[in-house]
Amino acid sequence: MRAVIQRVMEASVTVSGKSVASIGRGILVLAGFHESDTDEDREYVINKILGARIFNDAAGIMNLSVTDTGGEILLVPQFTLYGDLRKGKRPSYSAAMKPDSAREAFDSFVDRCRSRYAKTRAGVFGADMKVSLVNSGPVTILLDSSRIF
């Protein structure tokens, strides 16, 4: 599983012009699923999201997590995180989980995250989403459950 974590002042998702999810200060997570991902991959990423010390403490040092600050989380499915441009100019998505399985994986990911942190919102799997954000810092972290980076 791959995730892009962005510290935000606010973020929102709209589908067909209607707001489906929004948060204030917190973390926007773009989440992609590999064809061989397991529950352990999702747990690894959730633990990192909830524990990432990317918010400033009173001394101005990144030492606090989203849970420490009471911030919010917005999870957005994004299969293009497994886009591969090493051959040619059109990305290959062959490593990405197939849509039906990825929908189940995303739903499980959201449910697990919500069960551990109630201030979790989510985008809509398979929808043409418009994602807006005000990145804070900017702070952007890449995660891969296979620990490639």
CATH code: domain of residue 7 = 3.50.80.10
> Splitting the chain (149 residues) into consecutive groups of 10 residues, what average pLDDT does each group show?
98 98 98 97 98 98 98 98 96 97 98 98 98 97 91
Phi/psi at 9 (nearest 5 deg)?
A: -85, -30
Look at residue 52 and tell me if it is in a domain.
yes
Question: Does 80 qualify as catalytic in the annotation?
Answer: yes
Look at residue 81 and tell me if it is in a domain.
yes
> Distance between CA 41 and CA 82 in Å, rounded?
15
Look at residue 149 and tell me if it is in a domain.
no
Does the pTM of the predicted model rise above 0.85?
yes
Phi/psi at 70 (nearest 5 deg)?
A: 75, 20
Look at residue 14 and tell me if it is in a domain.
yes
- Tell me, what's the pLDDT at 145? 96
- Tell me, what's the pLDDT at 73? 99
Q: Exactly one of 55, 79, 106, 109 is catalytic; which is it?
A: 79
Look at residue 106 and tell me if it is in a domain.
yes
DSSP state, residue 100 = H
- Tell me, what's the pLDDT at 148? 81
> Distance between CA 110 and CA 133 in Å, rounded?
20
Question: Does 69 qualify as catalytic in the annotation?
Answer: no
Number of domain units in the chain:
1
Look at residue 59 and tell me if it is in a domain.
yes
- Domain ranges, residue 7: 2-144
Q: Exactly one of 33, 78, 106, 120 is catalytic; which is it?
A: 78
- Tell me, what's the pLDDT at 146? 93
- Tell me, what's the pLDDT at 149? 74
Q: Are 125 and 32 in contact (CB under 8 A)?
A: no
Question: Does 6 qualify as catalytic in the annotation?
Answer: no
Look at residue 129 and tell me if it is in a domain.
yes
- Tell me, what's the pLDDT at 92? 97
